[in-house]
Structure 1
Amino acid sequence: MWLRVEGFKDLVRRWWTGYTFSGSFSHILACKLKALKQDLKTWNREVLGNVFSNKEAALSQIGYWDAKESDLGLSPEEAEARRRAVEDFSKWATMEEVSWRQKSQQPWLKGDENSRLFHKMANARRRRNYLIAIKVNGRRLTKEEVVKEEVLISFQRVLSRIDEWRPSISELAFSVLDREEASVLENPFSE
């Protein structure tokens, strides 16, 4: 949906090249992605806002101009304002459609976006990924704080346990170099 906003790619490119972090390449990548995520969230909130309410606002603006046109007619400036409102509505409606397609993750799904099937597919993934409760030691936990606490305790228990068995390479058969062969490895290069 964001790719439909004019100048979006240039904006992301400018953000990406503007970040400076030091460390390993993977650390730099992770930091840049984290910073980009925050910039995208802020940009989305400030520039796009709520796509659905923006579409409704544009539609009500069109309704206003249509009512005025049927009563008194429109001046050239008002006709231009109505045309801009129609363009805005078209833009927001397209973005809303793309948003629903992204939410449904069903690019093959075509047709009426108001159909029951479309909305069912769009919301199915969200329902599938939503965790209502979790069972820990026979107890059913539903409160988020309690679930977090139990998961933390469980991982601490598993990761802090000292078992008898630890992986070891001591019993594996490796070819061993004698002292003379090992010292040859440390010699300077020669033809």
Structure 2
Amino acid sequence: MKILSWNVRGLGAPDKRRMVKHHLSNTSCDIIMLQETKLSCEEGERFVRYCKRWEGRFQMAEGNSGGLGIVWNPDKVLITEVSGNKNWMTCMAHNRDRKYGVRIWNVYGPTGSDEKTKLWGELEDSILKCTDKKFIVGGDFNAILDLTEKRGGSNRISKEMLEFKNFVRRIEATDCIPVEGWFTWTNRRQGFTNIAERLDRFLVGEGWILEGIPTIASTLPISTSDHYPLQMDIGTATQGGGGYFKFQNMWWREKSLKSQLEQWWMECKHIQGTPSFCFVKKLLFVKNKLKIWNRDVFKNIFEEKDKIGKELEKLNLIVMEKGMTSIEFEEEKRLKNSLNEILAREEIYWRDKARELWIREGDKNTKFFHA
């Protein structure tokens, strides 16, 4: 399931509607969460009809500010239980293909400090009713967690930052760090007056993490609004490819691996969230690093064995024709040592394979096991 969150800064102007419709027509997302539509419910419904293949529900704007919408592709998802107020909408989304559901909150945070405090309380009461913790809270929160999420302007830690961080902790959610893009809003000014902040984000419930379902966010470089849209993929294979992964014991033959693993683990310091979320994310990070290391450093043992065998054959032909010199002697010694190391790694590989087969097949009570 793919979800897009976007503060569009108004859909009243015809040129803005055309631009947003263009992006919605080209997206592969199943659900679109819109903030600051500046539309009434009736105008929102007309906009959905204008975009054709989508369906949607809207919260009415107050004058020329606010307004929320949840738009979805009815061929891919089923949306039920839609409710909310001027600052948030919630719904239940069911994936038609994969048959799992997720509770979603679409948030548009106010600018005032008191209003934000009230909003965090309302959301907390609503979110904590989701007992399986499989929820996604996304949108424009108009708040940042710390100073790393701001460039330019005031650089002091505010009360609003602390309240927002406490809210995230209380609902036991994890901030989904985007794999691409960091700041989601900019005032589009030049020079020292330019300010950029990470106001938009997805907060992920712990239920997704504990079940091992990947959630990946990325910021899209679309400049129709002063906010960049944020996309989340739920259940999509992580970067580096999916499929079965198993740590190979033969890797320990490479002496540098232990220090390399420690280095990769330390590179995960930026991950924030609950302990279980951080642990799972670190494992995924190290797994992807191991895949690359295995491909580029450790390499395929069978291909390396064939390669060294051919080099030895070529060297032996030279020795047979021209005799052995000190150069050939050292080269033969190096190749034999390399081949011996490859064969040792291969022995470990096949030993693990045999153990894996036993675990998978087990004692099937055949004559072989009684012999």
Number of equivalenced pairs: 112
1:1-191 alignment, distance < 5 Å: 1-20=250-269, 21-105=271-355, 128=361
Distance 2:336 2:294 in 1: 22
Give CA-to-partner distance per residue, 1:66-95, whole Å, 9 cap, x none: 222122112212211111111110111111
Q: Which amino acid aligns with 2:264?
A: W
**SS of 1:11 mapped into structure 2:** helix
1:123 shift after superposition: 5.3
TM-score under structure 2 normalisation?
0.29
**SS of 1:99 mapped into structure 2:** helix
1:103 shift after superposition: 1.2
Q: Which amino acid aligns with 1:50?
A: N
Cα distance, 1:125–1:67 mapped onto 2, change above 3 Å: farther
Cα distance, 1:78–1:35 mapped onto 2, change above 3 Å: same
Query: For structure 2, which runs of at least 5 residues remain unmatched after alignment?
Result: 1-249, 363-371
Query: For structure 1, which runs of at least 5 residues remain unmatched after alignment?
Result: 106-121, 130-191
Distance 1:123 1:79 in 2: 42
Cα distance, 1:52–1:123 mapped onto 2, change above 3 Å: farther
Distance 2:293 2:347 in 1: 20
TM-score under structure 1 normalisation?
0.54
Rg bigger for which structure?
Answer: 1
Distance 1:53 1:103 in 2: 18
Q: Which amino acid aligns with 1:25?
A: P
CA RMSD of aligned residues (A): 1.9
Give CA-to-partner distance per residue, 1:9-41, whole Å, 9 cap, x none: 000011111112111111110000010110001
Give CA-to-partner distance per residue, 1:161-190, whole Å, 9 cap, x none: xxxxxxxxxxxxxxxxxxxxxxxxxxxxxx
More helix by share: 1
Which ranges of 4 or more aligned residues in structure 1 deviate by more than 3 Å?
A: 122-126
Identity of aligned residues (%): 27
